[in-house]
Structure 1
Amino acid sequence: MTKKTRSYRGMHRSLLAGLALCTAIGIGSAQADAITVYTSYEEDEIAAFLARAKQDMPDLDINVLRLSTGDLHARILAEASNPQHDVIWGWAVTSLIDPRIGELVEAYTPEGIERIAEQFRDKDGKWFATTGYMAAFCVNNEVLKNKNLPMPTSWADLTNPVYKGEVVMPNPASSGTGYLMIASILQMMGEEKGWEYLNSLDGNIAQYIKSGSRPCNAASEGEFAIGASFALRAIKNIDEGYPITMVIPSEGAGNELEANALMAGSKNKEAAKRFLDWTVSENAVNEYYNWKEIVTVTGGEMPEKFKEAGLPEDIASVMWNMDFVWSADNRAPVLERWQKELER
């Protein structure tokens, strides 16, 4: 890893820690409004988004708890009788549409909601999605060359025996990225053939990793040839100088929307609503485009480095048309079977 990369990551960790400290102490203002936000955004994304939010709303203290999608799901349900947060921010739609979660949030229409197409909003107004992410492979060019391995182009390719022990992917029980991969495979292939494929793929998997970003980082650092991850992490790592290629599976990229919602039990609803309004603001959208391959709010423009890394401007052309209701309704049985048959 280069010194530049270590400095880059250290900078974001420091920024996030500093923001968390500032929000916790109220930046010296006893009169500031304060909210607690639960999110599954990546840490570097949170740091950038919060920095922008603090510029726009300096009198609002935003305390953030970040957990992976599955862990956050478990925590919110565990706290159902006494919620400890005001807002859900950037969390998987397939988790938010769980009826048990639906009982804990209330409808809210933020200012500017017309900038988000109806397909990205709950029909009852309980959530709206502003961003999203999609699956992609991070393939280390140097490892391929050193081991004389071919460049994969599809999920089907990953079952090739030459990749045995060279593939890592997220654990779907803890990672939203991992679950969208499993769900998309089962939707693409049908459940019977999909499970046959997953069992075949398992023969080449070196590790199932808790985080959605870590497989890409592991491949980027040369630990493995292929890390199944999400497109933005691949783009960021390419931009940082890692010797990887981003591959969007030719079958279509599984994807997930990241949504926001107001907790019915919030004791700081006016401040919470103000934050939710900000999440669809022009400044927020411009910041999203620095970090997200899927932005549902009109305005903004895809950065050149995204295109240079291989992301098409028409990202819908490479996205699998996910059935989010199926993903949500089948989450428990899919994960139960996956843990029984494949988790290790």
Structure 2
Amino acid sequence: MSRCSSSGLALMLWAAMAAAVCGCGRPDTAPRVVVYSSVDEPVARPVLEAFQSKTGIRVVLVTDAEAAKTVGLAARLEAERNNPQADVYWGNEPFHTINLARNGVLAEYASPAAADIPAKYKDSAGRWASCGLRLRVIGLAAGGEAARACAAVKGVADLARPELRGRTGMARPSAGTTGGHVAALYVAMGEAAARRLLESLRDNGIRLLGGNSQVVRYIAEGQLWAGLTDNDDVLNARRRGWKVEMMMPDQEGPGTLAVPTTVAMVAGCRRSENARRLIDYLLSAETEKRLVDAGFAHCSVRVEPRGVRLMSVDYNAVVAKLPYAVADALRILEGRR
């Protein structure tokens, strides 16, 4: 064998060994789909695993911490707009989803699974649709003096009652569903009335916490007697054996705010066909039932709920008001001028 042949063979052997070590030259050809999700991971993961088992498409799930969950994932999608890493966005609320659609981050896809979803719970251009309604609720202490003090609470304004002074809480409006709730109140009540409401809560010593689950934990521990949160946070607390009651606020006023989960395809995603299949699955009645059975969603988007009157709200109008309402609410609640 010549010296050149020996050198060539050695080079080929070295390249083969390097490829074996680093995995180069063997691209991952298995079908997969990447989903960014602010749905609670213990709820989202079994749904995605069921899709994976059914289709053979591997699902890569990316989540974030509660305090920055939706806000953080939305910011990440915006930052990756020119080089999208996600294929599907599965949000726990509609507010940031609508903003992402307006900013061109989401693609049009009219899923056949969304055909029976009412128009108010999906984008007219097909850039997102909803599956499962969560509710903004008031968590209440159970038993003793705290329960007696909460007996008259029927709505958000009652959290300013003197017997609850210093004993109420809410998540900071800058993150999660609380910001959408505040903006919805600005839309439903008008700015002046919403400001007066927030001022009364501030003057009664409402505490601003890091997330909805923390509000419920403080109620269970006796640090708070009542607070604004989401239905799933109360149900999760009950599963842990915590004593927390739940009520649907403002049934005699503007109504209880419904917060639909949302599903969308990321514009320019790398695996669009797999994304469509996952979206169809997430928007199906089968998946919606799983969300309700898990206690994450309170009811279906496909039928009007029984026993609760929902706030009549235009989610697009809420999103338009969101930045201003959140900034104004923080200024008021933090006592800034």
Distance 2:146 2:315 in 1: 40
Partner of 2:278: 275
Partner of 1:266: 269
Deviations for 1:99-139, whole angstroms, at most 9, x for unmatched residues?
Answer: 66541211112232223223322111111111231111111
Equivalent residue of 1:97, what SS? helix
Partner of 1:165: 166
1:35 aligns with 2:38: no
Partner of 1:46: 44
Q: Which moved more, 1:37-46 or 1:90-99?
A: 90-99
Residue 215 of structure 1: how far off its partner (Å): 1.1
Q: 1:147 to 1:110 in 2, by over 3 A?
A: closer
Q: 1:71 to 1:338 in 2, by over 3 A?
A: farther
Q: 1:95 to 1:54 in 2, by over 3 A?
A: same
Partner of 1:237: 237
Distance 2:224 2:154 in 1: 17
Deviations for 1:10-51, whole angstroms, at most 9, x for unmatched residues?
Answer: xxxxxxxxxxxxxxxxxxx95432222112212322233234
Equivalent residue of 1:180, what SS? helix
Contiguous gaps of at least 5 residues in structure 1: 1-28, 299-311
Q: 1:64 to 1:328 in 2, by over 3 A?
A: same
TM-score of the two chains, using structure 2 as the length reference: 0.80
Q: 1:184 to 1:244 in 2, by over 3 A?
A: same
Deviations for 1:66-99, whole angstroms, at most 9, x for unmatched residues?
Answer: 3522233333223333322111113422222226
Residue 60 of structure 1: how far off its partner (Å): 2.2
One-letter amino acid of the structure 1 residue matched with residue 267 of structure 2: A
Partners of 2:167 and 2:205 within 8 A in 1: yes
Deviations for 1:129-187, whole angstroms, at most 9, x for unmatched residues?
Answer: 11231111111113x526852422221211112212211111111112x1232123223
Q: Paired residue for 1:314, among 303, 306, 321?
A: 306
Partners of 2:169 and 2:209 within 8 A in 1: yes
Partners of 1:105 and 1:262 within 8 A in 2: yes
Equivalent residue of 2:238, what SS? helix
Partners of 2:114 and 2:284 within 8 A in 1: no
Residue 205 of structure 1: how far off its partner (Å): 4.1
Partners of 2:180 and 2:322 within 8 A in 1: no
Partner of 1:219: 219
Partner of 1:294: 299
| Alignment of structure 1 residues 128-207 onto 2, 5 Å | 128-142=129-143, 144-145=144-145, 149-151=149-151, 152-176=153-177, 178-207=178-207
Residue 261 of structure 1: how far off its partner (Å): 0.8
Distance 1:51 1:214 in 2: 28
Q: 1:146 to 1:294 in 2, by over 3 A?
A: closer
Deviations for 1:292-313, whole angstroms, at most 9, x for unmatched residues?
Answer: 1132247xxxxxxxxxxxxx95
Q: Which moved more, 1:166-175 or 1:94-103?
A: 94-103
Partners of 1:32 and 1:61 within 8 A in 2: no
Q: 1:238 to 1:37 in 2, by over 3 A?
A: same
Partners of 1:108 and 1:262 within 8 A in 2: yes
Distance 1:146 1:330 in 2: 35
Partners of 2:167 and 2:224 within 8 A in 1: yes
Distance 2:242 2:109 in 1: 42
TM-score of the two chains, using structure 1 as the length reference: 0.78
Partners of 1:141 and 1:244 within 8 A in 2: yes
Q: CA RMSD in A?
A: 2.6
Q: 1:51 to 1:218 in 2, by over 3 A?
A: farther
* Count of aligned residue pairs for this structure pair: 300
Equivalent residue of 2:328, what SS? helix
Q: Which moved more, 1:250-259 or 1:29-38?
A: 29-38
Distance 1:128 1:210 in 2: 28
Q: Which moved more, 1:81-90 or 1:147-156?
A: 147-156
One-letter amino acid of the structure 2 residue matched with residue 122 of structure 1: D
One-letter amino acid of the structure 1 residue matched with residue 237 of structure 2: N
One-letter amino acid of the structure 2 residue matched with residue 314 of structure 1: R
Percent of residue pairs identical: 20
Partner of 1:14: none
